[in-house]
Amino acid sequence: MIDNTDKIKKIIDNALADGRLNRKESELIRNAVYNDGLITGEKAKLWRELQKKVTNGEILLEN
C-alpha cells in the first residue's frame, strides 16, 4: 500500500497558504488522511500539527 503522506503535506500547505482554513479545505485534508483506512504515525502527526495551529490561532477558521 502506498503512503500518501507527501500528497497530504501538499494539500495542507496549499490550504494554509493564505493563513485560513475553510470547511471544504478541512474536509479535503481529513479525507486524504483517513481515505485508505491506514493511519500512519506521520499522517497522525500532520493532523495533530494542523489542529495545533488552529487551536493556537495561527490559522483562522472560515465557514
CA atoms within 13 A on the CB side of 49: 13
Total-model pTM: 0.84
Give me the residue spans of the domains in the chain: 5-61
To the nearest whole number, what is the mean pLDDT of the chain? 91
Contacts of 20 (CB under 8 A, 6+ apart): 59, 60, 61, 62
Instruction: Please name which of 26, 24, 14 lies closest in space to residue 54, comparing C-alpha atoms.
Output: 26
Residue 51 near residue 11, CB atoms below 8 Å: no
pLDDT for position 21: 96
Residues 6-26: tens digit of each pLDDT: 999 999 999 999 999 999 999
The DSSP element (H or E) to which 21 belongs, if any, is strand 20-21
Q: By the 8 A CB rule, do 43 and 5 touch?
A: yes
Question: Model confidence at 4, in pLDDT bands (50, 70, 90)?
Answer: confident
